[in-house]
Copies of this chain bind each other. A is one copy, B any other.
Amino acid sequence: MEQRTQRRLEVWIEYASTYSYLTVSCIGSLAAQREVELDWQPFWLGPVRERGLGAPFPDDAPRSRYMWRDVERRAARLGLPYRKPEQYPVNSLQTARVALVAAREGWCLPFSEKVFSLHWGQGVLIGTPDNLRTALQALGKDVDEVIERAQSADNKAAFKAQTERALERGIFGAPSFVTCDGELFWGDDRLEDALDWACTCVEPR
């Protein structure tokens, strides 16, 4: 069987996920250093959890308190702005549908950077029209036209199919990364492991 090395990494991103902010802030340069091509896969974690786990996570105050503090410390380590969002979780559906359009057209990284930076740095929350429109404007997009395409039946169906694809890969959280040989890595703290794996993995042709 002929084989080829694929320096490619699927990036499963959820715009309501706190740790996805950290990932988006570094993945561009870390992937470029290793010459890994990023294959953006925006999705919605809610239906994946419901289908995959049977139930959402229980209310869990110590873990929740810890998560915020951990994100704050990790953001500081990366030199990123941190301002605890006034709402959590946010409704990430429309942003994620736009991101799927962006992924097809190759501008998902700058779009994600802008969306998260507005949310975490300026208090313009993901899920608000202000966040989405400002991000699209900053990228020089025709705002109404992009949103219309994101809301089209075709794109809605494609986005819905992301749930099945996520479940097929065994995904249960975000961000997650999948290499060409099917290895799953979960969490911002596995980003470098995933990129390193992507440098060496081989896909059967």
CB within 8 Å of B: which A30-54 residues: 52-54
CA of A172 to CA of B171 in the docked complex: distance in angstroms?
A: 23
Instruction: Please give the distance in Å from A112's CB to the nearest CB on chain B.
Output: 23
Across the interface, which residues of B come within 8 angstroms of A70, CB to CB? 185-186, 190
Pick from B60, B66, B74: contact of A184, CB under 8 Å: B66
Sorting the interface of chain A by its residue count into under 10, 10 to 19, 20 to 34 or 35 or more gives: 20 to 34
Instruction: Please give the distance in Å from A49's CB to the nearest CB on chain B.
Output: 10
CB within 8 Å of B: which A55-73 residues: 55, 57-60, 62-63, 65-66, 69-70, 73
Q: Which of A70, A74, A183 has the most CB of B within 10 A?
A: A70
Residues of A within 8 A of B (CB): 52-55, 57-60, 62-63, 65-66, 69-70, 73-74, 77, 170-173, 183-187, 189-190, 193, 197
